[in-house]
Structures are given as structure tokens and as C-alpha cells.
Amino acid sequence: FNRMFDLYPNQRAEGEIRFNGRNILDPSQDVNLLRAKVGMVFQKPTPFPMTIFENIAFGVRLYESLSGDAMQERVEWALRKAALWEEVKDKLGQSGLSLSGGQQQRLCIARMVAVKPEVLLLDEPTSALDPISTAKVEELVNELKDEYTIAIVTHNMQQAARISDYTAYMYLGELIEFGRTDEIFIKPKKKATEDYITGRFG
């Protein structure tokens, strides 16, 4: 969705990104509505400099007017979805920045699902985490994918094999191959994909 290329001379882009039948690059697209429907988590955890509770409630308030009790319920629901509730339920008033790296990333996931989006985008969500935290996030993704469409960018082939149903192999911005994950890893159709998976390239 990066539109920075518009700022550079002689740059242009063609094509469409369609969501619910609508091109999201259309100038008439309601960006605020799109942000409510598409959640994003980045490589490095990005909790807001506010309490754990407010990290979750902040986005919800932008799109909904909930009573105090309803907001409490939404925050707990989101933290449970992110498998974080039991770890933070007694310190909701503490800063989100006080959590460990893995907890911060799950807090960001909770903040994302709290607004009830339809699609979750995760950009290398575990690249800055230790193996234990990585395993927790992967377990969480496996649980969430039953309810959401999730797209994950990763350079970790083992991770892609573990948690994805479908895999797309891209190189220099070009889609080389797309298919079921088991087929891509066991019997890829393109030689470039096979070379990358087997380590002959990349």
C-alpha cells in the first residue's frame, strides 16, 4: 500500500489491489474504513507509549462508541485472542513498553484484532523475536487463521512451511509461483522456486 513512489519523478504503477470487490488504490477509497478492515503487524513490535489497556482500546474508540463495560469486555476478548490475557490481566494499567519483546508483539496482534478486521497482514512478525516467543506467535497465527484471512511476509522457509496453507514465492517484486504450501515445498512447478527451496539460490 506504500504510495511513496508518487513523490518521485517518472515513477508510476499499474494494476489493482482488490478487496471485497473494490480497488483499494482508487482515489475514492475511504482509507479510514480500509484501515478498520485490514490489520497490520510489523517486524519490530510497535506498542503505543500508553497502558496495556489503552493500547487495545485506542483503535476501537476510532471506529466504535462502546460503554465502559463493553470496552472492558473487548479488551479482554482481544487479549485472549492474542493468548496474552493470563500474562497481563493484573497489570493492564502498566505501560505496554514494559512487556517483553514477544509479549509486545502479541499486544500488537491483540490491538489489531480488537477492531475486528477482515484481513490480517503480518510483515516478518517474528524476525526480532527469540525462538520461544516465535513459537508462541506461530501458535497464535495457527489459531487465528480459522477466523481471519492472514497474509504473512517471511524469509524463513521453515516458518512458511509450518504455518501457511498457501505459499507465494516472490523475487524482485515478481510473483514466481503460488500454490498450496505442501505442493510448493515438495513439488514446485518452477525451477526458480526449486532452486530457492533447495538452497541452490538465495
Percent of the chain at pLDDT exceeding 90? 77
18 DSSP assignment: E
Instruction: Supply the CATH number for residue 88's domain.
Output: 3.40.50.300
Whether residue 185 is contained in a domain is answered as no
Identify any residues that bridge with 19 across adjacent strands, giving them in sequence order: 22
Residue 46 has pLDDT above 90, yes or no: yes
Whether residue 90 is contained in a domain is answered as yes
Residue 173 has pLDDT above 90, yes or no: no
**Tally of domains within the chain:** 1
Whether residue 104 is contained in a domain is answered as yes
Whether residue 176 is contained in a domain is answered as no
Whether residue 170 is contained in a domain is answered as no
Question: Do the beta carbons of residue 24 and residue 18 sit within 8 Å?
Answer: yes
The candidate with the shortest Cα–Cα distance to 48, out of 39, 59, 60, is 59
Whether residue 183 is contained in a domain is answered as no
Question: pLDDT tens digits, residue range 63-117?
Answer: 999 999 999 999 999 999 999 999 999 999 999 999 999 999 999 999 999 999 9
Whether residue 156 is contained in a domain is answered as yes
Cα–Cα distances in angstroms (integers) from residue 103 to residues 8, 53, 132, 136, 202, in the given order = 38, 14, 11, 9, 32
Whether residue 202 is contained in a domain is answered as no
Residue 64 sits in which domain range? 4-164
